[in-house]
A and B are shown apart, each in its own frame.
Chain A
Amino acid sequence: MEAIIKSQNEQWRSGIAKGITFIVTKDCQLACKYCYLVGKNSKERMPWSIAKQTVDYILDHENDFKEESVIWDFIGGEPFLEIDLIDKICDYIKMEMFRRNHHWFNSYRFSFSTNGINYHEEKIQQFIEKNRNHLSIGITIDGTRQKHDLNRVYKNSERGSYDDVVKNIPLWQFQFPGMGTKVTISSADLPYIKESVLHLFSLGIPEVNINCVFEDVWKEGDDLIFQNQLIELADAIIDNGLYENNVCSFFQEHLGKPLDRKLQNQNWCGAGKMLAVDAAGIFYPCTRFAQYSLRDKKAWIIGNVNEGIDKNKLRGFLTLDRCTQSTKECIDCEVAEGCAWCQGENYDAADTCTAFQRSTAICKMHKARVRANNYYWNKLFRKLELEGIERERANEHVKQPQMKDIC
């Protein structure tokens, strides 16, 4: 289970912000056992010239990037290993947006997903101080110490990294209050869901936003384990009144309803509306389409820093809707609401070279989640009712989520 503690609301300008991701390095201090980056190495570091060319290209083409705001996202490997480069890129972005009087100058954010190990180091702290009002930082943690150290171990040793990460959380909490958490779970994590979520709550993280991975990793019986873990978690949250100050995104009141073919026909993920660039200056619709994150397919390249974006390679993404990529079973599904997909995984798992074939590996897990979710709300509403709180006013007594499901 991987939790990314987000410093601020993920919905920041959601829908109207352009996401631009720099894959600054493929190197990392850790060698997590589940790491999907098959091509991880210490050689592919983004040169300054590529970063600068990318920024120039994007700012030169203001008309092609009309979104009101921008999130400049830095990922790795471990992005803070390249703090000098990142600092230089961010300074250049700010300077150029100002010099060009670009419409993003007052509406930008720098975003990071880090393992948190070197969060306290001077250079990183200086960077945070300098950019404090335009920052969003996520730290990855795997629930309890035991669970975290099982997977998140240092390169060339079996030493776990839990202590080195958790010691930085108070500083990070102090700098970015109001934090939330993002968690991704896979088959082996299922038995630990309840204890991990409760542990994250106990660390002072009030909001835990969880997704099952979209890959086809689910084994026979996993849905039952999942359902039972969620029901145990529901009991713990409700019996201990944790719902007043905490949110776990697995439980959402309006989950699991049928979807209207016309009115609720939108695509789920933002691929095609984002842009990712790697160390060689190659552009992708999102990092999941870069070669190092694909199992079976060729990278989906949409251009490069020299030739720019080939808009034809984005047309499919920008015309994708729910029904065109779904089977009849999904279109008619009684519990479809909240059943998510990842365009990159769809492409990777598809029978042909297409993003128009929805992968449904998550199907039984979503159905299990819906059952546990129904249990949660029935139990919670009954409890509140017995306490004299009417259903219409129940929301005033339940903490509302700030984040939405993120792919």
Chain B
Amino acid sequence: MLKYLVILLDDTSTSFCHYDNRKSESRLMPIETLKGGIRFGMMENLMIQFVYPVDALPLEHLKAIETIDHGVIAPSGSPVSADVVVFNDWDTFLKFDYPDMGTFVLRTDSKQLCENPKYLESVLYQVTRLNIVLTDIETMNDEDFEKYDRFLDELRGIMKRLYLKGYQTQCNLITDRIVLDAMNNCNAGTESITLAPNGKFYICPGFYYDGLDAVGSLEDGLDIKNPQLYRLDHAPLCRICEAYHCKRCIWLNQKTTIEVNTPSHEQCVVAHMERNQARLLLNELQDRGIYDKKQEIKEISYLDPFDVKDEW
């Protein structure tokens, strides 16, 4: 069932996820479209997430936004107070003056991430939750995987130190899997849908920015073809997988395999490396009495469920 409506307020609204937004020219969502989107969200009982550009919005847009309970996703340079602050570069990420509350998203390629684990530590002491989003999963090769695994190893050490000092910081790459006992994916197309500045609906913002087909419009309503294919039970690999924290990114799926329900090898390997490091972290924290011993993440021998699909 749909729960969330993501509204892109401008063509230059920040990306907050795996997709890139390469649009540099502002195209503000017309006020009537914005009001129509809010009305749609209200009628369908959807929680609206507004995605902001760096530039300030006109007053009438801000007023319209305040007519509904909502969440704010904004880039780090935006003047608005955001629930989710997105960093697209390391410099700003490291120099930012972090408030007490909020979720922070760091979008980075794996190369930069793997070079900077130490810098990450200082930020992790300042926030309650950090989401790290890799922007180059689809191009990662075996060498990159090795580096990423080494990085995760270091991240595990950082998280362990934090927890032993009494911090309860969450970092999606390693702590999410520990607290999950069922799939918790992005669910674009089943739980969330995106409204673009052109008044059309898309599965996620990435589909809009890549010029892919819309799935309806404010004018004609939502029309998702083959809706079952976005559901977990119609994803042959993911439905038997237990990398529960994995985004199961629909946008990456269609980009790499053509099928929205089929992940690439790279997405699976990355998620399983994270899962395996979460397992080690859990064991270490259990040894120090921080987690209940009953909780278990099983040891597995594969990094890509595709390689063992015949056994299921």
Assess whether B226 is in contact with A354, with CB atoms less than 8 Å apart.
yes
Contact status A319-B265, CB under 8 Å = no
A319:B262 contact, CB within 8 angstroms: yes
Whether B225 contacts A316 by the Cβ 8 Å rule is no
A353 to B237, CA, bound (A): 19
Shortest beta-carbon distance, A71 to chain B, in Å? 23
List chain A residues, Cβ under 8 A from B213: 352
Indicate if the CB atoms of A319 and B226 lie closer than 8 Å: no
B259/A356 in contact, CB under 8 A? yes
Query: Which residue of A311, A313, A318, A351 contacts B258 across the interface (Cβ within 8 Å)?
Result: A313
Q: Could you tell me the distance between the alpha carbons of A357 and B261 in the complex, rounded to whole angstroms? A: 12
A300 touches B258 (CB 8 A): yes
Interface readout for A317-349 with B: 1 if CB under 8 Å, 0 if not?
011110010000000000000000000000000
For B, the interface residue count at a CB cutoff of 8 angstroms equals 21
Contact A356 B256 (CB under 8 A): no
| B309 interface residue (CB < 8 Å to A) | yes
Whose C-beta in chain A lies nearest to the C-beta of B236? A319
* Contact A352 B225, beta carbon cutoff 8 Å: yes
Contact (Cβ within 8 A) B229 A352 = yes
- Residues in B with CB closer than 8 Å to A316 are 257-259, 261-262
Assembled-state Cα–Cα distance A351/B213 (Å): 12
Given contacts A352-B229, A356-B226, whether A315 and B264 have CB atoms under 8 Å apart is yes
Inter-chain CA distance A200–B213, complex, in Å, is 49
Assembly CA distance A397 to B248 (angstroms) = 56
Cβ–Cβ < 8 Å partners of A353 in chain B:
254, 258
Chain A, interface SS category: loop
Q: Are A315 and B265 in contact (CB under 8 A)?
A: yes
Contacts of B259 in A (CB 8 A): 315-316, 354-356
Cα distance A351–B234 when bound, in Å? 16
How far apart sit A91 and B271, CA to CA, in the bound complex (Å)?
Answer: 46
Chain B 222-248 interface residues, beta-carbon cutoff 8 Å to A: 225-226, 229, 234, 236-237
Residues of A within 8 A of B254 (CB): 353
By a CB distance below 8 angstroms, the chain B residues around A312 are 256-257, 264-266
Question: Quick one: which of B244-279 are within 8 Å of A by CB?
Answer: 254, 256-266
Complex Cα distance, B237 from A312, in Å, reads 13
For A351, the chain B residues whose CB sits under 8 A away are: 225-226
Residue A274 at the chain B interface, CB threshold 8 Å: no
- Chain B residues positioned under 8 Å from A315 (CB to CB): 237, 257, 259, 262-265, 306
CB of B222, distance to nearest CB on chain A (Å) = 15
B window 123-155: CB within 8 A of A: none
Q: Which residues on B are within 8 Å of A, measured CB to CB? A: 213, 225-226, 229, 234, 236-237, 254, 256-266, 306, 309
Q: Which 5 A-B pairs have the closest CB atoms?
A: A316-B259, A319-B236, A351-B225, A316-B262, A312-B264
Residues of A participating in the B interface, judged by any CB pair closer than 8 Å: 300, 311-313, 315-316, 318-321, 324, 350-357
Known contacts A315-B237, A354-B226; 11 further A-B pairs (Cβ under 8 A): A312-B265, A315-B263, A315-B265, A315-B306, A316-B259, A318-B309, A319-B237, A321-B236, A324-B236, A354-B229, A357-B226
